[in-house]
Amino acid sequence: MTATQAGHPDKAHGRFATLLLGSIGVVYGDIGTSPLYAFREALRPFAHDGVHENEVIGLISLMIWTLTVIVTLKYVLFLLRADNDGEGGTLSLLALLMKKAKGNTALLFLAGLTGAALFIGDAMITPALSVLSAVEGLKLVTPALSDYVLPISVTILAALFVVQSRGTDAVSKFFGPITLVWFIAMALGGIAHISDDFSILNALNPLYALDFITHAGFVGLVVLGAVFLTVTGAEALYADLGHFGRAPIQTAWFLVVFPALALNYLGQGALVLTHPTAIEDPFFLMFPKWALLPIVILATLATIIASQAVITGAFSLARQAIHLGFLPRLEIRFTSQTTTGQIYVPSVNSLLFMGVLTLVIIFGSSEALATAYGISVTGAMVVTTLLAFPFLTWVWGWSMIFALSVLLPLFVLECIFLAANLLKVHDGGYVPIMIAGTIMLMMWTWQKGTRLVKEKIGRNDMSLEAFIRLVERKSEHAPSDVPGTAVFLASVPDKAPAVLLHNLKHNHVLHAQNIVLHVRTRRVPFVPETDRIELTRLSDRFSKLTVNFGFMDEQNVSQAFPMCRKAGLKFEIMSTSFFVGRRKLVSDPDTGLPGWQDRLFIAMSHAAIDPSDYFSLPPNRVVEIGEQVLV
């Protein structure tokens, strides 16, 4: 073995260690902050009567076994294998299933939209709840700081959203180490108190969880809503699959995250058994007075990291939704020269910031906000389980009976948790429902509106081949020839683009070389450069060019043009004009969409950026030609 070959294992181990540490910081940031409030909120229904030993042990058992079944079995061991060319997440899975589907895909589409909308709702509530719960620890340091909890939380959240435009590449290097220290601190806090009452170890027996559910009655169903707070952030496991890979995420869970969470919950339970007054805030009361301020600071950093991970996930989901046609083309900025996952979507950032700020001000405390949490998380999980069924049958080839036998128990369990969380609708649970409903309405309206626009424009469509025969026929009305190359952006590759027809109608000219350009987003995350372009010669003057991207690719058309030269298409960029159509949408109450949906669709279209900017066309070579479309 040569020295170079001997070095490869070290590089591989170093790369794995980096991904492992990164996944601890990004993937598990959200679920790692749930001990701040989950057990406290689960105990709240019992606070007025005082908690009994069986109730505490039963609750801790429920939490540990919820982590085991939902996170370990469903996400870590199963869903991480249900990938779309290495990418995970609801929309990634939806794209794969839409590609495999035969027949009606309406139910798949509805399920995917619901999951995506619920994730955005989660992205609003998570930063608000996590940061508030961490900063509230200051009240235990000194009651004099109680009045400053809300202003400090708002300041932290405002700063978090302001720095998004600068990218997180530099600070993300600290995410893993800080979160690792956080998990170690949680584990040590739990270990220090397990000896307070060793009977808490009975919680490792799932029979205690079953006994609690059996005897708790209606209160047990209410408590289940709080118990589910232990698995908040589990969807990030799946969504971040493409960034870190399956092995680092799984290793981080079994080596660090799961042991730290289990130890901490066991420690909180033992503390409450020994000191019932600790029910007020069992997490922070686990630590001695001298360690309270450092733990509050560490908890605040951990919640900021958790919030960052959710915000980044929302950006990534928005990009997927845009490329798959669920949202208008919004501005996407790439904040890292080396990592395509580091993106910033200004409009989504503003929407999240306004939503988070509103939630913090309206609810005012983590206790009040916890009632609004859970519905979006459980709803998203139920959707993922539903989508897993066609994945098992269509992609993995499982029989329907076998797939049902595996997924049905999990589906029933998650529906029970969803029902428990729905009991909180009147206490604030309506918030995530309203958020998700609004986002679903917007996505549905955009899909419906764009389909209507295509239908109306398509009525006057002419096939590209027929158009070429028409314009190349020698006649006295033939257009004038001009030198250079013209590139016409087309939404349908085999039809003559409207912008080409308008240019010919108004300017009466035809370039020496004409390229009909169609940008196609495939239902795969990434398209290799070898498959980037498809070039077809239609005549001496006309060519059809299709540029393929994946839904996770940066859709930069300018970078794809050098490949055309290798394919035999000769042109000079400085003598090339890019013709882009600009549509002005006009509301028509008599046809198309209802009036309210007309206005929403037109407002969303105004938020879209120019196709020339979205596809990174050379800015000084773009010609825009407008047309009106009634919707």
Mean pLDDT of all residues in 121-144: 87
For the stretch 517-527, pLDDT in tens is 999 988 888 89
Assign 72 a pLDDT band (cuts: 50, 70, 90).
Answer: very high
List all residues 6 or more positions away from 556 whose beta carbon is below 8 Å from its beta carbon. 615, 616
Distance in angstroms (rounded) separating the CA atoms of residues 299 and 284 = 10
Q: Report whether pLDDT(464) > 80.
A: yes
Gyration radius of the chain's alpha carbons: 28
Mean pLDDT of all residues in 577-582: 88
Most confident of the ranges 9-18, 54-63, 305-314, 609-618: 54-63
Residue-level pLDDT at 193: 96
Distance in angstroms (rounded) separating the CA atoms of residues 106 and 89 = 19
> Picking from 30-44, 138-152, 489-503, 560-574, which range would have the lowest pLDDT averaged per residue?
560-574
Residue-level pLDDT at 7: 44
Mean pLDDT of all residues in 75-84: 90
Assign 323 a pLDDT band (cuts: 50, 70, 90).
Answer: confident
Question: For residues 497 and 516, is the Cβ–Cβ distance under 8 A?
Answer: yes
Using the structure block, give the residue that is written with the tokens 């250079």: 484
The strand pairing partners of 581, in sequence order, are 625
Give the amino acid at 73: L
Question: For residues 99 and 260, is the Cβ–Cβ distance under 8 A?
Answer: no
Assign 170 a pLDDT band (cuts: 50, 70, 90).
Answer: low
Distance in angstroms (rounded) separating the CA atoms of residues 61 and 465 = 69
Residue-level pLDDT at 587: 80
**Which one is predicted more confidently, 283 or 462?**
283
Most confident of the ranges 42-56, 207-221, 294-308, 469-483: 294-308
The pLDDT > 90 percentage for the chain reads 35
Assign 6 a pLDDT band (cuts: 50, 70, 90).
Answer: very low
Distance in angstroms (rounded) separating the CA atoms of residues 55 and 502 = 74
Residue-level pLDDT at 1: 39
Question: For residues 563 and 573, is the Cβ–Cβ distance under 8 A?
Answer: no
For the stretch 187-210, pLDDT in tens is 999 999 999 999 999 999 999 999
Residue-level pLDDT at 518: 92
Residue 51 phi/psi, 5-degree rounding, is: -90, 145
Closest CA to 158 of 364, 373, 356: 356
Distance in angstroms (rounded) separating the CA atoms of residues 328 and 474 = 42
Residue-level pLDDT at 2: 39
For the stretch 209-268, pLDDT in tens is 999 888 877 778 888 888 888 998 888 788 888 778 899 999 999 999 999 999 999 999
Assign 346 a pLDDT band (cuts: 50, 70, 90).
Answer: very high
Mean pLDDT of all residues in 44-54: 78
- The 10 Å Cβ neighbour count of residue 167 is 18
Tell me which H or E stretch contains 628: strand 622-630
Distance in angstroms (rounded) separating the CA atoms of residues 598 and 607 = 15
Residue-level pLDDT at 366: 86
The pLDDT > 70 percentage for the chain reads 94
Q: Please, what is the average pLDDT of the chain?
A: 86
Mean pLDDT of all residues in 560-584: 81
Mean pLDDT of all residues in 527-554: 89
Residue-level pLDDT at 3: 39
Assign 611 a pLDDT band (cuts: 50, 70, 90).
Answer: confident
Give the amino acid at 571: F
